[in-house]
Structure 1
Amino acid sequence: MSTTPDTTATEASPPDGSTPDGAPPGEAQKLPLFALLALATAVFITSLTETLPAGLLPSMSGDLNVSEAATGQTVTIYALGTALTAIPLTAATARWRRKRLLLTAVAGFAVANTVTAVSSEYGLTMVARFVAGVAAGLAWALLAGYARRLAPVPLQGKAIAVAMAGIPLALSLGVPAGTFLGTQLGWRWAFLSMTALTVVLLVWISVAVPDFPGQEAGPRPKMLRALKVSGVSAVLFVTLVFVLAHTILYAYIATFLDDVGLGDSADLVLLVFGAASLLSIWIVGAQIHRRLRQLTIASTLLVAAGAAVLAVLSDSTALVYAAAALWGLGWGGVPTLLQTAVADAGGEEADSAQAMLVTLWNVAMAGGGVAGGLLLDSIGSDSFPWTVLVLLAPVLVVVVASRAHGFPARRPGV
């Protein structure tokens, strides 16, 4: 999963003072839910395309005649596609109409998932996954910003939370459903079902989502300037290490569960994880306006608690499910928390900071796939939760230390 808004995301409202949906300032403001749900579905498809192999590693590796560690690199190559192209493609398409760009990105998923579904060659599958990652780079460069522009200023945080609900939905419903479908009919049908959903989404966006102009002509933003803004570096560090920790475990969760005797229950464990993630994003959406710092600390501790249970008590089936719930409760709101934190910290450089966040997010996803594969081959899957605990220690230190900037006790404007 990767996140960054479009290059005009920080525009709070149109220059005439009306709300983004055209309502005059004096009228009651509300969220354009039908359009936001289309964006949430786009987030769902993006997230599910990225993580679907996690529940299908054994069957995919058998059909492609490669090891499970090698199949795990389908997550890595996807993340690399996003990490390598998000910033240059965002800059190159900055002046495109937003709706045209979103439709192009979504169409890219349809093509990539179809090729993945029919491919019998590992090399071709990796190319398709890379293309899917490129499409994700375009999509993530739009989605959060699009959600902000659709909503009146007081509701922009909730608008992002609605759009980002696609992430826990993908984890709670998509990955378990894809795993079940892959078990019953074969993993290729899971990817073909993604293509079918994407076609529906293309029609939905065309009908329901309003268009916005791209960036006006002018000098390109200098990405590295954002690093000099107080607090941005702290948020980016937390993003890199937190996502790395999560991915090392999540990308190989099917293998980990198989090794502890719960391979046949992977879909149910992922369902518990995703349901807890849904609860997490609801809590974050309701409380982020005033409690971003506290929520970020709580998220870190909850994921660490889940990893600790998996590290020492994975011989108990009930405690594995409990650990999945703790993990999901901590992780679900993290994308919204980090997006909001980097936008707050970035100020006038928020666009550049967000573009750097999406790049580092996907660098971490790629690194997690590689590191997890190395750990699996050299030590075994039982090393995953211990690695998560080690990585989350500096995350917690940085969040707690960034009281003035990055994760402040009081958000700007609150």
Structure 2
Amino acid sequence: MPILALLLMASSGFIIIMTETLPAGLLPLLATEFQVSDGSAGQLITAYALGTVLAAIPTIAMTRGVSRKPLLVVGLAGFFVANTLMAFAPTLAIALVVRFIAGAFSGLIWGMLAGYARRIVAPEQAGRALAIAMAGTPLALSVGTPLGAWLGATVGWRWSFVSVSVLTVLVVLLVMARVPNAPGQRSGTRLALRGVLVIPGVAVVLSVVFAWMLAHNLLYTYIAPYLDGARVPVRPDVALFVFGVAALAGIWITGALVDTSLRRLTLVSTGAFVMAGSLLLVASSSLPMTVGAVILWGVAFGGSATQLQTAIGDAAGESVDVANAMLTTAFNLAIFGGGAVGALLVDGSGPAALPMAMIALSAVSLVTVALGRRHAFPRGRR
């Protein structure tokens, strides 16, 4: 297995997720800088998600036949430009435009990264390769975003985005030197977008992606106002660090079991979201219960990307890149919804409404996984 290449793909994912989630850790600083409410500052995440939603499927559809390595380099270069511009954004309006551009490049990379990882390993190693390539997500959540939040609080939020730009340059150079290329999809195997969507199991996985990730993003985007409203004596950066470390454990568990127990893993993970939301709802003022809920939430989320991308890759077969672009679109529609709906809840009903929404959406995900036993989340070894 090409470990170094997969780790560099994970580093690419780290950059994407850190760029995406930095505003969550910097939300109070951004709101103060641009003189807006927390809900308005949260639209920096919404704008990013909107860019991804609008770009993922068209860019992957247009680049299905393009070699994967040059495409990855172009996507990372886009992140360098976007994060550098964000570091110098003078107004919220300009920052929103820059975040939209960053989201568009996110759609390009996420749409091809999972298929790229699967193409450079043997089919029986696909699940484990995906777990390694997706490790950047929990690592960004456990180290990147909390560190960016700390850096922002210490020397200013703009330096957080500068640090991501510097990291991007390093990763691009290593990708160019050490990651093997892989061909795009052969023209004779390319289905129309509608044809991919009706492949058995694909639509079911996409519905789980949207509901499950919406449950996650409602709380993750507004973790700072939630903790403040619940009067839990823990800083947002500390809560994000605990969440991210727990997510690392989740992806390790998933990497060990995804090739043999995909269905059980997904059932347990969505069920754990319901339990975590319930703990936050009934014991919001208790520090031990809140920390326990964050840990449970993190472990369950850590393996979610690998579980969902493995499921949709197995269902889609040769059309994995387009299916992953659809997954990326659903994922970022959930991020968009988390930012937009979460703002309405936080500025309207108050942060206490977030765990209730998390419970309801996670329960929908759990039921959908349970019903998708034939094609989307089949029983037994994959």
Relative to the length of structure 1, the TM-score reads 0.89
Which residue identity does 2:7 align to in structure 1? Answer: L
Distance in 2 between residues matched to 1:224 and 1:203, nearest whole Å: 37
Distance in 1 between residues matched to 2:81 and 2:338, nearest whole Å: 26
Which of 124, 135, 150 is residue 154 of structure 1 equivalent to?
A: 124
Would you say 1:237 and 2:207 are equivalent positions? yes
Which residue of 2 is the match for residue 187 of structure 1? Answer: 157
Would you say 1:273 and 2:235 are equivalent positions? no
Which of 81, 96, 102 is residue 126 of structure 1 equivalent to?
A: 96
Would you say 1:99 and 2:69 are equivalent positions? yes
Would you say 1:319 and 2:289 are equivalent positions? yes
- Contact persistence 2:233–2:287 (CA under 8 A): no
Segment drifting more, 265-274 vs 121-130: 265-274
Would you say 1:409 and 2:379 are equivalent positions? yes
Which of 112, 136, 144 is residue 106 of structure 2 equivalent to?
A: 136
Distance in 1 between residues matched to 2:116 and 2:78, nearest whole Å: 19
Distance in 2 between residues matched to 1:179 and 1:253, nearest whole Å: 13
Which of 78, 81, 84 is residue 114 of structure 1 equivalent to?
A: 84
Shift of 1:169: 0.2
Would you say 1:358 and 2:328 are equivalent positions? yes
CA gap of 1:344–1:96, structure 2 versus 1, over 3 A, is closer
- Contact persistence 1:109–1:198 (CA under 8 A): yes
Shift of 1:258: 2.0
Listed one character per residue, the Cα deviations across residues 349-368 of structure 1 (whole Å, up to 9, x for unaligned) are 44432221111111111111
SS in 1 for 2:32: helix
Shift of 1:348: 4.7
Distance in 2 between residues matched to 1:73 and 1:201, nearest whole Å: 28
CA gap of 1:95–1:409, structure 2 versus 1, over 3 A, is closer
Which residue identity does 1:234 align to in structure 2? Answer: V
Larger radius of gyration: 1
CA gap of 1:218–1:228, structure 2 versus 1, over 3 A, is closer
- Contact persistence 2:112–2:324 (CA under 8 A): no
Distance in 1 between residues matched to 2:296 and 2:54, nearest whole Å: 32
Distance in 1 between residues matched to 2:65 and 2:370, nearest whole Å: 39
- Contact persistence 1:273–1:324 (CA under 8 A): yes
Distance in 2 between residues matched to 1:263 and 1:134, nearest whole Å: 37
Give the total of aligned pairs: 382
Segment drifting more, 175-184 vs 256-265: 256-265
Distance in 2 between residues matched to 1:69 and 1:92, nearest whole Å: 35
SS in 1 for 2:377: coil
Which of 347, 350, 357 is residue 387 of structure 1 equivalent to?
A: 357
Distance in 1 between residues matched to 2:36 and 2:189, nearest whole Å: 47
Which residue of 1 is the match for residue 198 of structure 2? Answer: 228
Which residue of 1 is the match for residue 136 of structure 2? Answer: 166
Relative to the length of structure 2, the TM-score reads 0.96
Which residue identity does 1:178 align to in structure 2? Answer: G
Which residue of 1 is the match for residue 299 of structure 2? Answer: 329
CA gap of 1:253–1:263, structure 2 versus 1, over 3 A, is farther
Which residue of 2 is the match for residue 12 of structure 1? Answer: none
Which protein has the bigger helix share? 2
Would you say 1:60 and 2:30 are equivalent positions? yes
Shift of 1:218: 5.5
Shift of 1:249: 0.7
Shift of 1:394: 1.6
Listed one character per residue, the Cα deviations across residues 308-358 of structure 1 (whole Å, up to 9, x for unaligned) are 111111111121111110000111101110111112222354443222111
Segment drifting more, 311-320 vs 255-264: 255-264
Distance in 2 between residues matched to 1:89 and 1:193, nearest whole Å: 27
How many percent of aligned residue pairs carry the same amino acid?
Answer: 45
Distance in 2 between residues matched to 1:215 and 1:145, nearest whole Å: 10
User: Which consecutive unaligned segments of at least 5 residues does structure 1 have?
Assistant: 1-30
Shift of 1:379: 0.2
Within 5 Å, which residues of 2 pair with 1:279-318? 279-318=249-288
Shift of 1:279: 0.5
Shift of 1:222: 1.1
Would you say 1:399 and 2:374 are equivalent positions? no
Would you say 1:32 and 2:2 are equivalent positions? yes
Listed one character per residue, the Cα deviations across residues 136-190 of structure 1 (whole Å, up to 9, x for unaligned) are 0111122111211222232221111101000000111111111111111111111
Listed one character per residue, the Cα deviations across residues 95-130 of structure 1 (whole Å, up to 9, x for unaligned) are 333211111100111111111111121111001101
CA gap of 1:178–1:263, structure 2 versus 1, over 3 A, is farther
Segment drifting more, 60-69 vs 277-286: 60-69
Distance in 2 between residues matched to 1:305 and 1:402, nearest whole Å: 21
- Contact persistence 1:108–1:135 (CA under 8 A): yes
SS in 2 for 1:290: coil
